[in-house]
Amino acid sequence: MSVELIEEALRSRPQGEAELAELAHAARNVSNDDLQYLIESMPAKQAAVLYRVLDKDTALNIFEDLPPAYQADLIRGLRSTDVAELIEDLDPDDRALVFDELPAAVADRLMAGLSPSERHMTASVLGYPPEAIGRYMSPEVIGINQDFTVGEAMAYVRRRIDDPETIYLLPVVDSSRKLTGVIGLRRLLSEDDSVVIRDIANQPVSASAIDDREETARRFLSDKLIAMPIVDREQRLVGILTIDDVIDIVEEEDAEDTARSGGSEPLAQSYLSASIFSIFRSRVVWLTMLAVSAVLTVQVLNVFEDRLAQLTALALFIPLLTGTGGNTGNQAATTVTRALAMGEVRVRDMPKIIWREARVGFTLGLTLGVLGFLAASLAFDVGIGTVIGLTLLSICTMAATIGGVMPLVAKKVGADPAVFSNPFISTFADATGLIIYFSIATAILLS
């Protein structure tokens, strides 16, 4: 049975034992990737039916790979005994993310059903703010005492081999559990048993549990780490951040930036499984704000209505000029937003960025201005060509400069740089571009 046939079977709402057995048999012949796609793309009730017929190992593997929103939907549709087993098997950081998606009463009931050790670790993760990296660390971490010998450290790791999320990078701590270094498992295996850990430990690259998750994840990737110790305010080891959690953070942040740069909010679920209302809600606020801000463009056109009446040819070039300004600003904003995310620039670099984008915009404007001058002069006359050429030069310079600055301003005031990206820059460029256009036309053609 193919994926399409499984979808058809689920739409017919199988209830009898024979129908469910047939569905289970079909699911065994479908890859885990296809099963995960089905669960993410269909309504929650159908997804729960499919999930119930999977064998235990497949079900656990798929559940661990699902985003928290889908995990929460499945929990609502499964029997309490199934849910308890799934929640107990999750890592504490993953469990905390699922609890964030559930009603408080449901989360409290599931928390109460955990074993004491799992409940304690989950509570420690939930104690950090949602945007803090502490929400994504694993508190299951082995800290190697710096006074251990290599032999003692290896014996210590062997006794606790099943507890931590990773052992490839081991934090080194002192007697009060303060982080003093890190050591890789390869190095540990290659040293003589009598060597003291403090003598071979490397300087740690760590983060505070309250640090911003995106900034920490970007730094993790830029430093090419496989794991990063997480510490509290007193530099005591509280957890470890692993590459899989970092990838999830970066993917989520990139999806959010992409959605907001297009004038919408990211969907919590896949496009096919999201309701019409949730898609509507993700777009309507931004679209309304942009429509209101576009009134400014209308007001500018109203102010220069008499100029348009005298020279109707000017109206023909409005889409070209406003579109060029918006595209130029968007290019600059996208470039600077990415540079901010990658840690390549900081807010204090604003003067350098202004100067750099002004020169880039001027060069772009000069190139497009020459082309515009030639085309408009041939189609109309030199006067119109001069207006178009100078306007393109001015608009590109202005739009590139403003587009480069806006993400930095957003960062300075604590807003999301993506919010100040494409939609707002396009609206701003439309209004200011028209003012520049008609001002130049007035000076050259109507003076």
pLDDT single digits (tens) 84-120: 777 777 788 888 888 887 777 777 878 877 888 888 8
Of 218, 252, 286, the one marking the end of a domain is: 252
* Domain-located, residue 147: yes
Same domain, 365 and 399: yes
* Domain-located, residue 116: no
Q: Which residues of 219-245 are buried (b: 16+ CB within 10 A; e: fewer)?
A: bbbeeebebbbbbbeebebbbbbbbeb
Q: Report the range of poorest mean pLDDT among 51-65, 163-177, 202-216, 231-245.
A: 51-65
* Domain-located, residue 103: no
Helix (H, G, I), strand (E, B) or coil at 162: coil
Same domain, 281 and 245: no
Residue 307 belongs to domain with CATH number: 1.10.357.20
pLDDT above 60 (res 384)? yes
- For 302, 353, 412, the CA distances from 297, given in Å and listed in that order, are 9, 27, 28
Q: What is the mean pLDDT of residues 242-246?
A: 91
* Domain-located, residue 340: yes
Q: How confident is the model at residue 126 (pLDDT cuts 50, 70, 90)?
A: confident
Same domain, 278 and 239: no
Residue 2: per-residue pLDDT? 66
Of 222, 252, 282, the one marking the end of a domain is: 252
Same domain, 345 and 432: yes
* Domain-located, residue 398: yes
Distance in angstroms (rounded) separating the CA atoms of residues 28 and 18: 16
Same domain, 303 and 391: yes
Residue 207 belongs to domain with CATH number: 3.10.580.10
Comparing C-alpha atoms, which of 159, 117, 122 is closest to residue 142?
A: 159
* Domain-located, residue 121: no
Same domain, 203 and 244: yes
State the total domains in the chain: 2
Long-range contacts of 1-8 (CB under 8 A, 24+ apart): 1/25, 1/26, 1/29, 1/30, 2/30, 3/30, 3/34, 3/37, 3/38, 6/30, 6/38, 6/50, 7/38, 7/42
User: In Å, how far from its chain's centre is CA 109?
Assistant: 30
User: Which stretches of 211-353 are assigned E, i.e. beta strand?
Assistant: 227-231, 237-242
Q: What is the mean pLDDT of residues 391-405?
A: 91
HSE-up of 79 (CA within 13 Å, CB side)?
A: 5
Q: Report the range of poorest mean pLDDT among 19-28, 62-71, 345-354.
A: 19-28
Q: 212 pairs with which residues across the strands? A: 132
Residue 108: per-residue pLDDT? 80
What is the span of the domain harbouring residue 391?
A: 274-444
Same domain, 216 and 285: no
Residue 344: per-residue pLDDT? 78
Most confident of 33-42, 104-113, 389-398, 425-434: 389-398
Mean pLDDT for the chain overall: 81
Same domain, 198 and 312: no
Same domain, 244 and 288: no
Per the CB < 8 A criterion, the answer to whether 51 and 19 are in contact is no
Q: What is the mean pLDDT of residues 385-395?
A: 92
Look at the chain and count its residues: 447
Of 252, 283, 313, the one marking the end of a domain is: 252
Residue 294: per-residue pLDDT? 61
Residue 68: per-residue pLDDT? 80
* Domain-located, residue 101: no
pLDDT above 70 (res 316)? yes
Same domain, 290 and 237: no
Residue 235: per-residue pLDDT? 92
Q: How confident is the model at residue 302 (pLDDT cuts 50, 70, 90)?
A: low
Same domain, 314 and 440: yes
Instruction: Read off the pTM.
Output: 0.66
* Domain-located, residue 240: yes
pLDDT single digits (tens) 158-167: 988 887 878 8
Per the CB < 8 A criterion, the answer to whether 165 and 240 are in contact is yes
Same domain, 328 and 436: yes
Distance in angstroms (rounded) separating the CA atoms of residues 128 and 123: 9
